[in-house]
Structure 1
């Protein structure tokens, strides 16, 4: 490319901006959850229809994979954007607010999708200059549904026979960065996220006679506090971890001690060793704090996504 190519590319991007804003707002009005996003998929397919791309859709999910073959040999680079929304009510008065009562694009995936459409248009217009191949990966199911794994199983990364993907790029918008800036670094960048579910089991009774019951509520509260201390005293400060208890459920009325109390949250870690340590320690703390009060704790730690580690 010539020395003026980046400036020309930016000019073209700005020319696309109004249409991409319209696309993003259309996606924002119609958020979809999980692996099956038929309206979102249709929007993406329509936006790519006039481009010189080879397009396939998923078998088990509403994914879109579009491939651009450049005019010259070179590496295969994958660009990825996620498409699914969150099960959350939108409380705004924007003209493009969500039209669904319990779903919204609170995490910016509508913007990621529009950006990837824009990248496809910009690069397709420069196909004659392009060295190599670009794979545009439109992924459902980022919010806990494992959409990337399904797409990998269906072949988005290619095979050894066709050379596979040489490099992959993804990004996430952030309200903490100034518009027009990029933040990147090598190594662990986004944490692994595992779920935490603890059921403290005691013995129910009447609130007027707690000595005749085994109240799981204060036990659960003590577990929450002990988990925070555990992190600060067992996890290396330069290999950090976070344990967040985001929900506590117990009881149904004011004068009955319940039999159980439940804790729900997440564990976030950046390295495999700390991830393993944290999982072991969370279970140990919950079991032993409960045992100290004569109660029991059932601990479930479903594994979530691994950390993002940039080379």
Structure 2
């Protein structure tokens, strides 16, 4: 099949996936479609026990190292308003972040690698991951942790993944180090003695204390973290009282902290907890702080970032400097297991992701396929010559504490 015909077939697959979005943990039709396409190309699918999503495997003619490629597959609960001829047919849901784009890139790479498997020394596992967007709990962790907990990736020595992004169509955006935000949540309950609003000296004003806590928390980023490191703390929810003339006995606030540097993550927590507790004490009230560690920052390995730039150039692809943003991305869990690289693929002026008008240009997909295919071949060749020494231990379940 010529590249143009191959690209056309991928675009047809992409449009089908775009028309049939499914939410996290419910990607049954999507999984079945991916399975059929892979099996039609003779690609083996591992028995992982996953309810949705799957892991395919391409076995080279010779034994060797094991690497993995990843595409995510879930959609979002958003009503699409793009006007595309292949718009969502699933009312109330759309691929509003481009996971249809990402999974098609991984699908294309799997097909390409299967076609040249006789030239490979080693194994490539291709992850079609569910629930990247899902709200993670200990009982039902994020999709990356679910896949890792199957044990199917225990032998993987390097992970590679892509995601669509605003930018020049087909360009490869690469950055070493932290590229996404560690996703941490806090919940604070302030308690005191309620009283009549006309007699504040007979009780405690938890609302004033909560307001002071909100203001003081803003110094966590501005005064406790390195100013050149991307980070943000946002209080997103406040509740207190239920009438106009009573000072309540409790106030509740919650929010999130996002950091890209590992050290900053712990510093932010420690500083925030001290601020909350000491501010509450200054106002004569009590404060209980609960802290929840979610997915870490995607931490691209500098070596594989350099390799990625070289491979892109050799493959005739344009490269651009990548960037860090503070949105969460659970590919980070794979990079906690072994080093690797997560790149962005330019998809034009996409409008804001997680919005009803989000529409990446699918003509960037073939660049992603070429990049993943080429870096997979290079990684197998390189790892056949060296033994990696910088693997990291896996977080086996959703991280809720350090």
Paired positions, count:
293
Residue 133 (structure 1) aligns with: 123
Q: Any unmatched runs of 5+ in structure 1?
A: 1-7, 159-163
Query: Is contact 2:80-2:94 (8 Å) kept?
Result: no
Q: Distance in 2 between matches of 1:74 and 1:10?
A: 29
Residue 83 (structure 2) pairs with residue 90 (structure 1): no
Per the normalisation by structure 2, the TM-score is 0.65
Q: CA distance change for structure 1 residues 79 and 60 in 2, over 3 Å: closer, same or farther?
A: closer
* Residue 106 of structure 1, CA deviation: 3.0
> Which residue is equivalent to 1:149?
145
Displacement after TM superposition at 1:186 (Å): 2.0
Equivalent-residue separation in structure 2 for 1:51 and 1:73 (angstroms): 21
- Residue matched to 1:3: none
Q: Which moved more, 1:208-217 or 1:222-231?
A: 208-217
Partner of 2:219: 229
Contact 1:12 1:122 in 2 (8 A): no
8 Å CA contact 1:137, 1:156 repeated in 2: no
Query: How big is the shift at 1:130?
Result: 4.0
Instruction: Tell whether the 8 Å contact from 1:216 to 1:295 is kept in structure 2 after alignment.
Output: yes
TM-score, normalised to structure 1, is 0.82
TM-superposed CA distance for 1:281, in Å, is 0.7
2: CA distance, partners of 1:85 / 1:25: 9
For 1:51-105, what per-residue CA distance to the aligned partner results, in whole angstroms no more than 9, with x for missing partners? Answer: 221113542542301001234555432111122334x44362646236354x543
In 1, distance between residues paired with 2:42 and 2:254?
Answer: 48
Q: Which residue of 2 aligns with 1:166?
A: 157
Separation in 1, partners of 2:145, 2:197: 49
C-alpha RMSD of matched pairs (Å): 2.6
Q: Is the 8 A contact 2:20 2:90 kept in 1?
A: no
Please point out which of 224, 239, 242 is paired with 2:232. Answer: 242
Q: 3-state SS of the aligned residue for 2:163?
A: coil
Offset at 1:287?
A: 1.0
Which residue in the other structure is 2:182 paired with?
A: 192
Shift of 1:253: 4.0
Structure 1 residues 203-252: Cα deviation after superposition (integer angstroms, max 9, x where no partner) = 33444544444232232222121111232111122344321222222333
How many angstroms does 1:199 deviate by?
1.3
Deviation of residue 169 (structure 1)?
Answer: 0.3
Q: CA deviation at 1:136?
A: 0.7
Structure 2 residue corresponding to 1:291, chosen from 281, 284, 287: 281
Q: Does residue 207 of structure 2 align to residue 217 of structure 1?
A: yes
Aligned residues of 1:23 and 1:114 also touching (Cα < 8 A): no
Long gaps (5+) in structure 2: 302-402
Report how far residue 41 of structure 1 moved. 2.0
Q: Spell out the pairing of 1:91-106 with structure 2 (5 A cutoff).
A: 92=81, 94=83, 96-97=87-88, 99-101=90-92, 104-106=94-96
Does the 8 Å contact 1:90/1:98 carry over to 2?
no
The verdict on how the C-alpha distance between 1:240 and 1:18 changes in structure 2, with shifts beyond 3 A counting, is closer
- Once the two structures are superposed, the pairs formed by residues 33-112 of structure 1 within 5 Å of their partners are 33=24, 35-59=25-49, 61-86=51-76, 88-90=77-79, 92=81, 94=83, 96-97=87-88, 99-101=90-92, 104-112=94-102
Task: Indicate the structure whose relative CO is greater, using CA pairs within 8 Å and at least 6 residues apart.
Answer: 2
